[in-house]
């Protein structure tokens, strides 16, 4: 009897949390364009881990707790069917089923000012995603109607909100090739309309000291990653000094930057190190043996690292 009551209550309350919780109805664009897609997302089967627990949006998430149990970060939502950086619903679903809970997602703006999950708008990206070239930047409606690789669903920021409500153990790491402050400002604005508690599971990547300060002024994120590929000639001493005076506890290094002495110095300073983008099992295991916390990857699975 109690078990039945819990399951029924779970279904009712979870649906309530998903449908525009913390909002009087969401943005107009969400109502016009994404509501139908979000309803379809809601019809997906609940994963076993959620069925056995009580799904909810946590009031408080411990900062950097995700690091302790995360060896793999899905790069661009992770690869699926040997296709990478699709940032698609299919990639998310496939990698979630494989046990991944932390996803890097690329974010860009549409012509009408909405955030969507896509690496960029350059011409090469259309055939890379199996799409007919529509020219340059698309509107939100055009983006949503243009499927990836003959049928995979592209994701808007409104879909990401829905997924985070649907999967309370998922984290999204942001990446953008644009003005990071503009992207993060819009992410904060849209998530705050729905439920600000979700921002505890948004992990902005910051690209340097000035970017870090600007992001902190937008919202007091408790989880952040310094990614170093844009730091140019900034010395390792200066990187370590910056980290010591910030509340950042995670660094993302390229494979070229991931020397053993630098990894060891970061670790002594209490910094967890992730390396991108690693798709070779041997290389991944070697990095882990050298003290790296985890990797960004397109194709590797958790079992590959054992």
Q: 184 and 68 in contact (C-beta within 8 Å)?
A: no
Q: Largest Cα–Cα distance of the chain, in whole Å?
A: 65
Number of domains in the chain: 1
Q: 119 and 160 in contact (C-beta within 8 Å)?
A: no
User: What local confidence, expressed as pLDDT, does residue 256 receive?
Assistant: 93
Q: How confident is the model at residue 150 (pLDDT cuts 50, 70, 90)?
A: confident
The pLDDT of residue 4 is above 50: no
Residues 42, 140, 160, 32, CA torsion sign: negative
Average pLDDT for 286-303: 97
User: What local confidence, expressed as pLDDT, does residue 238 receive?
Assistant: 97
Structural domain for 72, as ranges: 2-305
User: What local confidence, expressed as pLDDT, does residue 133 receive?
Assistant: 79
User: What local confidence, expressed as pLDDT, does residue 266 receive?
Assistant: 98
Strand partners, 272: 250
Mean of per-residue pLDDT scores for the chain: 86
pLDDT tens, position by position, 43-68: 555 444 433 333 455 668 899 999 99
The pLDDT of residue 1 is above 90: no
Read off the tokens for 276.
């991108």
Q: How far is CA 214 from CA 91, 93, 130, 183, 193, in A?
A: 31, 33, 36, 12, 21
Average pLDDT for 81-92: 98
Least confident among 18-22, 76-80, 190-194, 276-280: 18-22
CA–CA gap between residue 13 and residue 223 (Å, rounded): 28
Residue that wins the pLDDT comparison between 32 and 223? 223
pLDDT tens, position by position, 205-222: 999 999 999 999 999 999
Q: Which residues contact 44 (CB under 8 A, 6 or more apart)?
A: 93, 166
- Residue 98's CATH number: 3.20.20.190
Average pLDDT for 182-196: 96
CA–CA gap between residue 82 and residue 196 (Å, rounded): 35
pLDDT tens, position by position, 15-39: 333 333 333 333 333 333 344 554 4
Q: How far is CA 172 from CA 55, 105, 156, in A?
A: 18, 7, 13
Residue that wins the pLDDT comparison between 183 and 32? 183
User: What local confidence, expressed as pLDDT, does residue 40 receive?
Assistant: 59
The pLDDT of residue 76 is above 60: yes
Nearest to 273 by CA among 241, 85, 257, 61: 257
Read off the tokens for 35.
């509501």
Average pLDDT for 99-125: 97
CA–CA gap between residue 191 and residue 114 (Å, rounded): 13
- Residue identified by tokens 């199996």 is 130
């Amino acid at each position: 009897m109690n078990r039945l009551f819990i399951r029924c209550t779970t279904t009712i309350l979870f649906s309530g949390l998903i449908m525009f919780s913390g909002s009087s109805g969401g943005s107009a664009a969400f109502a016009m364009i994404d509501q139908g897609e979000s309803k379809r997302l809601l019809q997906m089967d609940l994963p076993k881990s959620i069925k056995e627990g009580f799904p909810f949006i946590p009031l408080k998430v411990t900062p950097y707790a995700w690091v302790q149990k995360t060896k793999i970060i899905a790069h661009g939502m992770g690869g699926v069917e040997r296709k990478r950086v699709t940032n698609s619903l299919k990639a998310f679903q496939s990698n979630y089923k494989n046990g991944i809970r932390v996803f890097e997602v690329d974010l860009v703006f549409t012509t009408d000012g909405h955030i969507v999950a896509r690496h960029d708008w350059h011409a090469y990206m259309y055939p890379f995603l199996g799409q007919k070239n529509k020219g340059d930047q698309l509107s939100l409606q055009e983006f949503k109607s243009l499927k990836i690789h003959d049928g995979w669903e592209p994701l808007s920021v409104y879909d990401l909100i829905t997924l985070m409500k649907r999967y309370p153990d998922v984290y999204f790491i942001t990446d953008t090739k644009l003005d990071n402050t503009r992207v993060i400002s819009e992410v904060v604005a849209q998530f705050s309309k729905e439920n600000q508690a979700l921002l505890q599971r948004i992990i902005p990547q910051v690209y340097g000291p000035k970017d870090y300060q600007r992001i902190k002024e937008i919202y007091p994120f408790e989880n952040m990653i310094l990614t170093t590929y844009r730091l140019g000639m900034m010395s390792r001493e200066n990187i370590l000094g910056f980290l010591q005076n910030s509340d950042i506890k995670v660094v993302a290094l390229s494979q070229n930057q991931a020397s053993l002495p630098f990894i060891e110095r970061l670790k002594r300073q209490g910094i967890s190190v992730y390396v991108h983008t690693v798709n070779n099992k041997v290389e991944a295991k070697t990095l882990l043996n050298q003290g790296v916390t985890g990797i960004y990857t397109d194709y590797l699975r958790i079992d590959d690292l054992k």
